[in-house]
Amino acid sequence: MIMNKTSLVILLGLGAFLLSLPYMPRFFIQVRGDNVDMVCNAWMKAEKSWNNDRYIGASGETLQALWMTVDFEVRTIISRPFYQQALALEKQGQLKDAIDLCWRGAEIIGEYDMEGESAYYCNELGMQYRKSLPGDSSISPTVEP
């Protein structure tokens, strides 16, 4: 039975993917510039398993780290416009508007944000806003997501 071209391409792609599994941890540890702890730790754990010849466990750990990387990048892409606009508002001195916009972006991905990355910048803005209030002011912003 002769395989059609589509099946052959799929099998070759799957084979290349499986052969690249041992090299993924080292590649992604070097490529990641943001060094999110959970994602980097997952890649380091996978690399350690590959180095200790635990191939079955290492395969699963590599796939988990790959999934975490994709998940983190998608969340970053979705929330980036909100944070960029909030940063522009912050530079213009409109901290309250920046905080509101920041939390809107954080709310969109917050349920899936295990690292807390989405809320970190918003909390930083909230602290700046509180510092900018007069000492005798009883107004306190609510920056809850």
CA nearest to 17, candidates 62, 55, 51: 62
- Ordered by start, the domain boundaries in the chain are 19-132
Q: What is the pLDDT along the chain (145 residues), one digit of tens a residue?
A: 556 888 778 877 877 766 666 666 665 655 554 545 677 788 888 888 888 888 888 888 888 888 877 877 787 788 888 888 888 888 888 888 888 888 888 888 877 776 677 777 788 878 877 887 776 454 444 544 4
Phi, psi of 11 (to 5 degrees): -65, -40
Prediction pTM value: 0.50
Q: Which two tokens stand for residue 112?
A: 């899936």
d(Cα 79, Cα 90) in Å, to the nearest integer?
17
Enumerate residues 6+ apart whose C-beta is below 8 A from 96.
129, 141
Q: H/E element holding 54? A: none
Angle at 119 between CA 144 and CA 64, to 5 degrees: 135
